[in-house]
Structure formats: structure tokens, C-alpha cells
Chains A and B, each alone.
Chain A
Amino acid sequence: MIRLNINGKVHNLDVDPNTPLLWAIREQAGLTGTKYGCGVAQCGACTVHVDGTPLRACAIPASSVAGRKITTIEGLAKGGKLHKVQQAWIAHEVPQCGYCQSGMIMAAAALLQANPKPTDADIDAAITNICRCGTFQQVRKAIHAAAKA
């Protein structure tokens, strides 16, 4: 049994300790907004926050983050109000197919938390997620817009 604190809610999960956090979140906690894309920490579709730090949930065992504060895309909005990154994403219509966007948004939200006014170079360094639809031009605009919000 692993005790995970996801989006402020405690989940006691009957899961093999080696199960990646991604699959514990998706299949045990039932939160499917966090996506599987590669399983080897390449694409970033599974990005979640662990104590505020963006991590690739496919490559860390669920047991290693027991008791820590995990935030997924479902927990980003607060009190029914979308996070400013989500709002900017809607205003700039970033998503195309949308599959990678949960991870992209989580990476962007973490960047703005650490660096409220990122430069283009800061964005280049922090956002390393793969998007096959190629939404990068919109992603950059939306991050700058969220920084100003």
C-alpha cells in the first residue's frame, strides 16, 4: 500500500512499489489527464508537480514520492478558477490534438512559478516537451501572456 497525496487528496493505493507514478495516477487514482507518451522521460506528456517541481511521472516509482505533494493537470485550477497558464492556453488556442498539452501546461506553470518573467531563452531551456502537432509558436506566446497576467 502506498500513500499518495494527489491534488490535496490522500489516496491509499494497492500497487507494486515499482509502478511508475504515472500509472499509479492514471490507473489507481483514476486521473487520466496526465498522459503516457514514451515511458522513458523523453516527451514530457506525463509532467506533474512534486512539491512544486516538474517531474516526468513515467520515470519515477510511485513509492519514491509517497507523502509528497503531487499536483496533476486536474489539480491546477484553484477554487474553480483556471490557472493563468490554462487561461492563456485558451486565449491563444494552443492545443491542436491536445494530447501533450497537460504535460506542456504543467511544465509552463512550473516555469512561471520559478521564474515569473521568463525570457525566450528561459522558455527554451525549461520547456523540453515533445508536441507532434507543433504548437510551439502558440506555447511561447501563451507563456509570455501568462507571465503578464
Chain B
Amino acid sequence: MSAIPNISRRSFLVGSAAVGGGLALGLRLPPFGPALVRAADGSPEINAWVVIRPDDTVVIRMARSEMGQGTITGLAQLVAEELECNWSKIVYEYPTPGDSVKRKRVWGDFSTGGSRGIRMSHEYVRKGGAAARMMLVQAAANQWGVPASECVTANSVITHRPSKRRVSYGKVAEAAARLEPPKDVKLKDPKQWKVIGKSMKRLDTRDKVNGKQVYGFDLKLPGMLNAAIRECPVFGGKVKSFDAARVANLRGVKKVLQVGDSAVAVVADHWWNAKTALDQLPVVWDEGPNAKVSSASIAEMLKEGLDAEQAFVGHSEGDAKAALAGAARKIEAVYSYPFQNHACMEPMNATARYTPEKCEVWVPTQDGEGSFAAVLSASGLPADKCEVYKINLGGGFGRRGAFQDYVTQAVRIAKEMPGTPVKLLWSREEDMVQGRYHPVMQCKLVGGFDGGNNLTGLHMRLSGQSILAAVRPAIVEQQKGRDPLVFQGVFESGEHAIGYSFPNTLVDHAMRNTHVPPGFWRGVNINQNAIFIECFMDELAEAAGEDPVEFRRKFMGKYPRNLGALNAVAAGIGWTRPAPAGRFRGIAQMKAFNSFVAAACEISVKDGSKVKIHRIVAATDCGYAVNPAQIERQVSGSFVYGLSALFMQECTVKDGAIEQKNFDTYQSMRIAQMPKVEAIILQSGGEPWGGIGEPTICVAAPAVLNAIYKATGKRLRSAPLKNHGFELV
């Protein structure tokens, strides 16, 4: 059932003209592939999404990457719904980025982040399934000499109603693959769905319980060597010198080399030998000017931004500054959020084999095309001499998409050893200190009330790091220096819009970038923005002398779906009834990635600092729920990620480098700390569909912080809570 990386290149016997000469990015996505293409095993490709083997096995192609979020199962459901195929005969396969380039990006976007997998491709993959079904039916109808309209399909079988003749998809696939793709493809009405909306079993479970799933770390190629790497721990630093002779004769060592300007690597027969030698390799670094930077100096820089004149506006309604100047009473608070590492269970890795004729890379990647671009760049070879084979990821969370540093390193190493496959594995320590970190942010919030205790204005000033400035500077340039992403969850409109209308609102951002490289990190900016706005809403509610839910509702008239999620969790937790003795409640809501989410929790606090979360009720309105059981698992999993971050995780900077090097100093939640998560799925339907992987991550933290205030009277305004002496028990 699993997509094992292909060792030999998949070949297409008949294909469209090769694009060649670079990534054909930006090409409009054609919904269907060219006629008569064969998969590697010779089976006919009905279209780019569907291959049917003679034994009725249905191979569904997946451009997106599986990193645990269940996207391949959900995408298969979308295709299968329209294809009307036998679910038990489905397998999946990753097309390669090289083939995608050759076929004018027939599979569309490979990038798997931003909770996009299903919400952004549901239409074209469903059309892929629907078109394939139409072609299969037509092929059968042609064979029988009957009109296609007299045929029906179910479970991979076509039946001619009047004559009761039946034929399975596998028998007519060859003929179907020769037909012209239909031009007019209609999708089912959601009311007719039989597979979408059902908790179909994941396609990738079995190999994950018996050790058979091959992750990048587990890849074996004939003649393969293993590499361990160490990059300058001070970001921006370089290698000055290293004494290769000191380790060259250690057990198993084949090569000691510099990688780019900033890293050294040891290649050995086995990775343990490579790592052992690397640990003993004397390296002198040119650490550069960043060696003086510390967490304290970064915090100072951000603090200055809280009151700086210049700031980019993300949301402006009315005149917040005037409203605050004229307010009878003002409430002010400063919050902050730290650097955090993704800490995927599987550290970064990539395997590369280079010859002047071909550069191939096997990699767990959230973006096959991004990996492909890195291979082109690092190898110096043209697109038709490069290939990437995607492997399922041992966690991604944003680290393995926009950043392909490990791919670049692997290719650079392999280039020094032409013909020999080299598997580059990062140690956990390397993974911790060479992250692309959740950006640091501080936030000053000021709310104004009139004499009648009515909120008259809100100013939310963000000060901190921009991911896009580091990763997609072209977008920032287009926006005249602004990074729109920092306003996730507090925008005026769009997929991350705020769910409140205040009389006068200003949200602005003083961009303060650091030398610590920032990255996308499950949810990213909604994590801190949800804490800032949703905890401050509780502060405002208290100042107004109102119940936090009632206070929120006053501003949510224009946002019925936000309100629907909030009401669902309020009802679920029993908000209007008293909490059980010794327990305290908190609540928060957000819209992100076009899903409307809310959480309400019930906690108790022992000895003033030991927090037990008993329950979290979580609501998600994602429009359509493709696989409800998988959504529940992602929601409860997102709370583990988000609450680990809230309570335990901070990457601090000392002498320019990250201090936390392993899970002993960068802890993560264990099962004993796991709250009971009760997921509520709301399906409002319609367009656009909402995402699942990320949205709920952001609501657990503010709900818990609000409950901690109720329990202890302490407003904890900076994460992680371990810095306040609080722990999750």
C-alpha cells in the first residue's frame, strides 16, 4: 500500500513533449494528461491521476506529501468518490517532480503546507476521478455498442442496465486510456457523496505498525555510504579550517570534506562511524558578527518596535488611535512568543547520487518541486538530468517545505563522490541548532473604553520577525516592505480574517528581523496571534465586567461561522453551568486557513503551578469534512504540538547560537499530560473549503491561558510557561 521510492526512473512510453530546461513554474494546470500514457509497470494511465491495472487495482497519484496528516487518504477519497472504484483495491503513488516538469505540471502544486492538500486541490482531483470514470464507461459502451448513458458504475464495475452486462474497470482500462478525455466533466452534488465524508481507513497504517515503512532515514541503496554533517552553529558563520587528518583513519571513514561555506561532513561506511568521527573532528569557525547576539539583545530590539513610529498596517478600521486618545479608560498588555524548533521525530535527511549525466535525490519533502529546484541548483545539471523521489515524512510541520538545505548539502557531498549514493542524516543535535525557527514576536495591545464601559478602540502592535522577508523576499518587495503573513488570524478579510468587528481597530507590525532563520511552523503566526488577541479579549471582558463568551459575542455579529464554532465549544464544555469543584475554564476562537475553529478547556492547578488539563472541547468548521475520524486525530494531535510549545518549548540564543540541543532541554508532551480532546466537526458546506492540519493548533494555548488566569489570578503573557515556573502535569 505504500509508495516506496522508485530506484529506477519511471518511464512514460508515450508522453507529451518534454518541457526541459528548468522548472515550468507558473504554467496553467491542465486538468488531464495526454492520451495513452503507461505507468512504469505498463498499466494504462486513464489520466494523470488514475492508473488501472488489469487486476482492477486502482493506482491514485498524489502530488502532495504524506507526513502523517492523512492527506493521501483524503485525496484518494476525493478521486474514488467520482471514480466509483473499489476502495479496497486502491494504492497510491507519488509522481516525480521530474515527470511533472516534463508533463507541464499536470499534477499541479506539489507543495504540502498551509493546510492546502485537500482544500486547494479537491476540485481538480475530483475531476480527475470523474473524467476517468467517464472514459471507462465510454470504453465499455463502445465494446458493447450501446450508449454510455445506459451504463452505471459502482465498485469498479460498469453495468449496462438494459442487458445486465457487466465488466470491471481493469478489463476496459486499456481501451479507456486511448479515448479523448471528456471536455465537460460534472462533479457529484455533495448530497450524493458516499466516500467523501466517511471515516475511511487510512491507506498507510499497516506498514507503520510493523516496521516496514521506509522513511528517508531507512533508505538503502546498493553501494551507499553515509554522511554526518555539522554546520556553523552561529547562523551566518563559516568554516575557517578543519583538521581532516585527525579523523581520516578512524573506523569506516571514507571522506572528510567541507560542504559549502559553512559546514563540514564526514562520509563513512555507516552513519554511526561518520558521526563518531565528526564528533572528534577539530573545526575552527569564523562565527562572524552574529556571535554577539543573545536572546536578551533580540528581546530588546523587539521591545523597541512596540512603540516605534514606522509600522506596516495589516488591519485598519475607523481611527483606533483617535479612539484610544479619547478613551475614558485604557487597558494595556504586552505579550511575547519565543523561537521554537519543529523537532520532527525524523531529523532532516536526504540521499543523493550524482554523476555528470544524472543527479537523483531521495528525500522526505513537503515540496517535491522545491526539492527538485534545490537539486538543479546544487548539481548544476539541467532539469532533464535531475530527479527527486519523494518518501513519506517522519513529520514535517513546515520544516521540510520552503527549506531544502539538507537536499543542497546531500547533493554537494554526492558531487564529491560521483556515482556513489550518499545518505546524509542529521543528528538530533544538528536538527535542533540548524532549524528554521518559529519567529519571535512581541505584541502590545491597547483597548479603550468609554464611560459606559463600551469598547471604543483596539490597537494591536506586533513587533518581531518576518518569515517572508527571509524566505520569499519578492512578496515582501511587492508589498512595499510589508509581510502580510504576520497578520494571520487578525486580517480584515481573507482566509485568516479576524472574527470580530470592533468600533475602531488598528493592527500593525514593526518588522524586526534577527539573524536566526525563521520558518513556517505548523500554523505559524496564528499561534502567537491567537494568544495575543484571545487572551486580551479575556482581559477586556474582565475590564468591562462581562463574561468572556458574552463579551466576544457582542463583536461577532458579522461572523456567523466564527460564532458557530464558539457556541459549539461553549455548549460542549457547559459554559453556562458552573465548572466542577476545583476546575476552571477558558475559551478561544479563530479563523485560519479558511476553517473556523474554537476550543474550550477545563483545567485544575495544583500547588499554584501544576496545570492539569482535564478536557478540551474543540470545534472545527471546515466546510466539508472529507474524513471525520482523521480530522479528530489531527485536532487532538495539533493540541499536543501547540500545548508542548506553550508549556515547554523555547529556543534561546547565546553567543549567536541556539542553546537547546536535544529533547532533554526541549521537551515535548507525553501521554500522561494528554488532555481528553472532544472534537466537534461542523460542516457549513460551500466554497471555499477549509484546511485541517493547522487551524486548531492555535486555540488550545489561549483557552488554557485564560483558564489559568481564572484558576490562579495570574495573566501569563509570555511563552513558554516553564519560564513562569508552571508545568503541565
- Taking beta carbons and an 8 Å cutoff, which residues of A are in contact with B? 16, 19-20, 23, 26-28, 30-40, 42-43, 45, 72-74, 76-77, 82, 86, 89-90, 93-102, 105, 123-125, 127-140
Residue on B nearest A33 in the bound complex, by CB: B211
Question: In the complex, what residues of A have CB within 8 A of residue B429's CB?
Answer: 39
A-B contact pairs, 10 of them (CB 8 A): A16-B276, A33-B210, A37-B345, A39-B429, A42-B664, A74-B210, A95-B204, A98-B208, A124-B670, A132-B668
**CA of A45 to CA of B634, assembled, Å:** 21
Interchain nearest-CB distance for B648 vs A (Å): 11
Q: How far is the CA of A102 from the CA of B208 in the complex (A)?
A: 8
- Which residue from chain A places its CB closest to the CB of B208 in the assembled complex? A98
Report A-chain residues with C-beta under 8 Å of the C-beta of B630.
Answer: 93
Q: Which of B220, B425, B663 contacts A43 (CB 8 A)?
A: B663
Minimum distance in angstroms from B327 CB to a CB of chain A = 42
The answer on a CB contact under 8 Å between B206 and A90 is yes
Task: Give the segment of B146-154, B331-339, B636-644 that binds chain A.
Answer: B636-644
CA gap between A82 and B676 in the complex, in Å: 29
- Complex CA gap A77/B206 in Å reads 13
B674 interface residue per 8 A CB criterion: yes
Give, as a whole number of angstroms, the nearest-CB distance from B92 to chain A. 15
Instruction: Tell whether, in the assembled complex, residue B270 and residue A39 are in contact, meaning their CB atoms are under 8 Å apart.
Output: no
Tally of contacts, chain A with chain B, CB under 8 A: 179
Tell me the chain B residues, 170-206 only, with Cβ under 8 Å from chain A: 201-202, 204-206
Q: A42-B663, A97-B68 are in contact. Are A77 and B272 (CB under 8 A)?
A: no
| B622-658 near A? 1/0 per residue, CB < 8 Å | 0000000110011011111100000000000000000
**The one of A36, A125, A132 that contacts B395, using a Cβ cutoff of 8 Å:** A132
A93 engages B663 (CB within 8 Å)? no
B271 touches A23 (CB 8 A): yes
Q: Kindly list chain A residues whose C-beta atoms are within 8 Å of the C-beta of B204.
A: 95, 98
Residues of B within 8 A of A101 (CB): 208-209
Residues of A within 8 A of B245 (CB): none
For B208, list chain A residues within 8 Å (CB): 95, 98, 101
Interface status of B672 (Cβ within 8 A of chain A) = yes
> Does B397 reach chain A (CB closer than 8 Å)?
yes
Judged by a CB distance under 8 angstroms, whether B214 is at the interface is yes
Known interface pairs A97-B68, A97-B393, A135-B637. Does A35 touch B202 (Cβ–Cβ under 8 Å)? no
Q: Which of A34, A43, A128, A137 contacts B636 (CB 8 A)?
A: A137
Residues of B with C-beta under 8 A to A139: 671
Which chain A positions have C-beta within 8 A of B676?
A: 137
Task: Given A31-B211, A96-B68, answer yes or no on A125-B345 (Cβ-Cβ < 8 Å).
Answer: no
Report how far A137 CA is from B674 CA in the complex, Å.
Answer: 7
Q: With A39-B428, A123-B671, A133-B637 in contact, do A100 and B209 touch (Cβ < 8 Å)?
A: no
The smallest C-beta distance from B77 to any residue of chain A, in angstroms, reads 14
Q: For residue A136, give the distance in angstroms from its CB to the closest CB of chain B.
A: 4
**How far in angstroms is the closest Cβ of chain A from B99?**
25
Among the interface residues A36, A45, A140, which one has the most CB atoms of the partner chain B within 10 A? A36
Q: Which of B347, B630, B670, B671 has the most CB of A within 10 A?
A: B671
Closest A residue to B638 by CB, please name it. A134
Asked whether A40 and B663 contact (CB < 8 A) given A35-B345, A97-B345, the answer is yes
Contact (A133, B68) CB under 8 Å given A28-B270, A30-B220, A100-B345: yes
A102 B270 Cβ-Cβ under 8 A? no
Q: In the assembled complex, which residues on chain B have CB atoms less than 8 Å from the CB atom of A35?
A: 215, 217, 345-346, 394
Within 8 A of A (CB), among B366-413: 392-397
Q: Top 9 nearest A-B pairs by Cβ distance?
A: A33-B211, A134-B640, A97-B68, A99-B394, A98-B208, A134-B637, A96-B68, A124-B672, A32-B218
B343 touches A132 (CB 8 A): yes
Q: Is B86 an interface residue (CB 8 A)?
A: no
The answer to whether B263 has its CB under 8 Å from any CB of chain A is no
Nearest-neighbor residue (CB-CB) of B643 within chain A: A134
Contact of A133 with B671 in the complex, beta carbons under 8 Å: no
A35–B345 CA distance with the chains assembled, in angstroms: 9
Indicate if the CB atoms of B271 and A130 lie closer than 8 Å: no
A46 vs chain B, min Cβ distance (A): 11
A23 touches B272 (CB 8 A): yes
